[in-house]
Amino acid sequence: DAGVIQSPRHEVTEMGQEVTLRCKPISGHDYLFWYRQTMMRGLELLIYFNNNVPIDDSGMPEDRFSAKMPNASFSTLKIQPSEPRDSAVYFCASSHSALGNTIYFGEGSWLTVV
């Protein structure tokens, strides 16, 4: 399996612009997670889906953030409008219910908002 695939790997954008991060989970996995990682706060769970349905979005920082999962093989995380404090690495991860809470991460999308 190719693992969790994220795009873009790197993005530099200007403040106020819309950012869309994309994720393809591992085939057959029924959970999908969006995490944000910074040096100060470490890994923070933003939102997770089960069978394409959002289960917990309590980690989404503001209304500027939104996530969708239109089907089992694709998810997006949008930030609109972006701000410099959104600069971080955004990880998508997936898991299968039979694997307990072991999750598989993508390589991350490195976002810089200037």
CA distance 5 to 94: 10
| SS3 assignment, position 80 | coil
What is the maximum span of the chain, computed from C-alpha positions, in angstroms?
Answer: 42
CA-nearest of 109, 95, 91 to 44 is 91
Determine if 65 is a binding residue for other proteins (CB under 8 A): no
Report the nearest approach of other proteins to the CB of residue 108 (Å). 5
Report the nearest approach of other proteins to the CB of residue 77 (Å). 15
Task: Show the binding pattern over residues 76-105: x = contacts other proteins (CB under 8 A), - = does not.
Answer: ---------------x-x-x-x--xxxxxx
Please name the amino acid found at residue 31.
Answer: Y
Taking CB under 8 A as the criterion, the residue among 20, 45, 52, 96 binding other proteins is 45
Element (H, E) at 111: strand 109-113
Taking CB under 8 A as the criterion, the residue among 21, 24, 26, 33 binding other proteins is 33
Supply 3's token pair: 């693992």
Q: What residue ranges bind other proteins (CB under 8 A)?
A: 4, 31, 33, 42-43, 45, 48, 50, 55-56, 91, 93, 95, 97, 100-108
